[in-house]
Amino acid sequence: LPNIFTAALPVLERLENGGFEAYFVGGAVRDLLLNRHIHDVDIATSAYPEEVKELFQKTIDTGIKHGTVTVLYGDSSYEITTFRTESGYQDYRRPDHVTFVQNLDADLKRRDFTINALAMNLRGEIIDLFDGLNDLKNRLIKAVGNPEQRFHEDALRMMRAVRFMSQLKFKLEDKTKQAVKDHHQLLKKISVERIRDEFVKMGIGPHSRQAFQTFLDTNLSEDVPDFAGKSDLLAVYPKLKFNPTEETSFWSVIIILLKIQDTQINKFMRDWKNSNAMTEAVEKIVTLFDLFSERIPTDYELFKAGKTVLLNTIDVAHILGQPIDSEALVDRYMALPIKSSSELAIDGRFLIKQGIEPGPKLGKMLNTIKEKVIAGELENNEEAIGAFVAKQD
Ligand code: ATP
Ligand code: MG
């Protein structure tokens, strides 16, 4: 058993000794059986939140209303959630209220896919009510129960389905896939932020091209921002050379495939509720990519882009199968005399001491000096730059 589980065994033990049932549940059990990296373990228990809090010294009220208490134990923290069912899905989004229950079965039944509905007790016994082990073996994403009903309860599950396809390299089980096809428009009820989070996880998963094909085949793509009617352009994605592994690369590739104009990138990123930082990074990458397709960038343009943007743009070109001499570009970047403005040997104060008056002229002079240093036409030291300044006007 991986350390992350053994470290959590005393937590289960304490719950059992307190007279309650307790199990590992959800993604951690799935990932354990798939031999994947496990980032956190979730625990389900028959104990009510107040009872959990009595058993442990350090707890955080993470989501008491939904039954979740975070327990700090050893060097780790664990989300412990009371067995529950969800009822009254009013708007295809989240349940109106949860009902605590006394047995595990109902709790597993509310979970989205059979592979996510496995539980394991502290003796390592697996509880598999929905044949999830078989679906793990056959690498299938299959809804627990009636897929149509499950997607009506919570339409985000349709995006989770394609996300797990990409992350786990699984296929979508036939009936589950048909239900997505028939009900993709329910996605319109879901907030863009939640769709985006699943979409990005899909986009940077190791099977994103296959998952994206399903995202298109089921018409989920018609119900997300700015994609409606664009399936011809998006159909290139599954045929790409490589899968993106970073979020910036993923968005850049999507924008390039959609042939979005430079001036419209900002709107597109905002429609998807992306952060300003993400938007700026993507704008820089797409701009440099466009430049690459026209001509070889100058040293100054490489300087302006900076190392991260350059490497990301090379990554994007690679994914798109665009031939570029990436080694030469990186070599040229690494050979630049300065890599950021702060590395310039002089600043504005130096120019003032040289007799240049503060104002626009000084700014222009500073820029000229920077460009000449980057182009290798001027040495980056006070002496050489002082002599250059003296020669002007
Ligand atoms: P990850 O590795 O991304 O954390 P995960 O399977 O743990 O994957 P979470 O979103 O952390 O996914 O959810 C934990 C568990 O809660 C899932 O395994 C599933 O059993 C259940 N779950 C989460 N979201 C839903 C949902 N929308 N509908 C039904 N069950 C869900
Ligand atoms: Mg999880």
- Arithmetic mean of pLDDT, 250-275: 97
Residue 97, pLDDT above cutoff 80: no
- Arithmetic mean of pLDDT, 205-229: 98
User: Any idea which residue has 């099977």 for tokens?
Assistant: 207
d(CA 393, CA 389): 9
| Ligand 1 pocket test target in 112, 114, 151 with most atoms within 8 Å of CB | 112
CATH, domain 1-137, list 3.40.1280.10, 1.20.120.1730, 3.30.460.10, 3.30.830.10:
3.30.460.10
Q: Which two tokens stand for residue 224?
A: 């997300």
What confidence tens digit (pLDDT) does each residue in 100-154 have?
998 999 999 999 999 999 999 999 999 999 999 999 999 999 999 999 999 999 9
Distance in Å, CA 198 to ligand 2 centroid: 13
CA angle at residue 162 from 160 to 164, to 5 degrees?
65
Which ligand 1 atom lies nearest to the CA of residue 28? 7
Q: CATH 1.20.58 spans which residues of the chain?
A: 240-336
What confidence tens digit (pLDDT) does each residue in 71-86 have?
999 999 999 999 999 8
Residue 48, pLDDT above cutoff 60: yes
CATH number of 139-239: 1.10.110.30
Q: How many residues does the chain have?
A: 393
pTM of the full structure:
0.92
Residue 93, pLDDT above cutoff 90: no
**Percent above pLDDT 70 for the chain:** 97
Q: What is the dihedral of CA 140, 145, 148, 152, to 10 degrees?
A: -110
**1 vs 68, higher pLDDT:** 68
Widest distance between CA atoms in the chain: 89
Ion ligand 2 contact residues with beta carbon within 5 A: 27
Q: What is the pLDDT of residue 392?
A: 84
Distance in Å, CA 150 to ligand 2 centroid: 19
Q: What is the pLDDT of residue 96?
A: 64
Among protein residues, the one whose CA lies closest to atom 3 of ligand 1: 27
Among protein residues, the one whose CA lies closest to atom 14 of ligand 1: 26
Torsion sign (Cα): 215, 288, 346, 357 = negative
Distance in Å, CA 183 to ligand 2 centroid: 25
Which one, of 117, 97, 121, 90, lies nearest residue 106 by Cα? 117
Residue 282, pLDDT above cutoff 70: yes
Please list every protein residue whose CB sits less than 6 Å from any atom of ligand 1: 26-27, 42, 111-112, 116-117, 154, 156-157
**Beta 140-141 vs 171-172: how paired, if at all?**
parallel
Q: CATH 3.30.460.10 spans which residues of the chain?
A: 1-137
SS (H, E, C) 86-147: EEEECCCCCEEEEEECCCHHHHHHCCCEHHHCCEECCCCCEECCCCHHHHHHCCEECECCCH
30 known ligand binder: yes
HSE-CB at 319 with a 13 A cutoff on CA atoms is 28
Q: What fold characterizes domain 342-391?
A: Serum Albumin; Chain A, Domain 1 (1.10.246)
User: Any idea which residue has 């979730």 for tokens?
Assistant: 42
What confidence tens digit (pLDDT) does each residue in 295-352 have?
999 999 999 999 999 999 999 999 999 988 999 999 999 999 999 999 999 999 999 9
Among protein residues, the one whose CA lies closest to atom 30 of ligand 1: 111
Whether the Cβ atoms of residue 206 and residue 166 lie closer than 8 Å to each other: yes
d(CA 128, CA 44): 15
42 known ligand binder: yes
d(CA 31, CA 27): 6
Amino acid at 271: D
Q: Which two tokens stand for residue 338?
A: 């300065």
Q: Which residues pair with 191 in a beta bridge?
A: none
Distance in Å, CA 68 to ligand 2 centroid: 14
Q: According to the CATH classification, is domain 240-336 in 3.30.160? A: no
Residue 41, pLDDT above cutoff 80: yes
- Arithmetic mean of pLDDT, 10-22: 97
The mean predicted confidence, pLDDT, of the chain is: 95
Whether the Cβ atoms of residue 66 and residue 95 lie closer than 8 Å to each other: no
Q: Which two tokens stand for residue 243?
A: 């899968």
Which ligand 1 atom lies nearest to the CA of residue 163? 3
Whether the Cβ atoms of residue 366 and residue 326 lie closer than 8 Å to each other: no
Which ligand 1 atom lies nearest to the CA of residue 154? 27
Q: Which two tokens stand for residue 275?
A: 């952060």
Amino acid at 55: L
Distance in Å, CA 171 to ligand 2 centroid: 20
- Arithmetic mean of pLDDT, 286-302: 94
**Residue 319 C-alpha from the chain's centroid:** 17
Q: What is the pLDDT of residue 98?
A: 85
Among protein residues, the one whose CA lies closest to atom 5 of ligand 1: 27
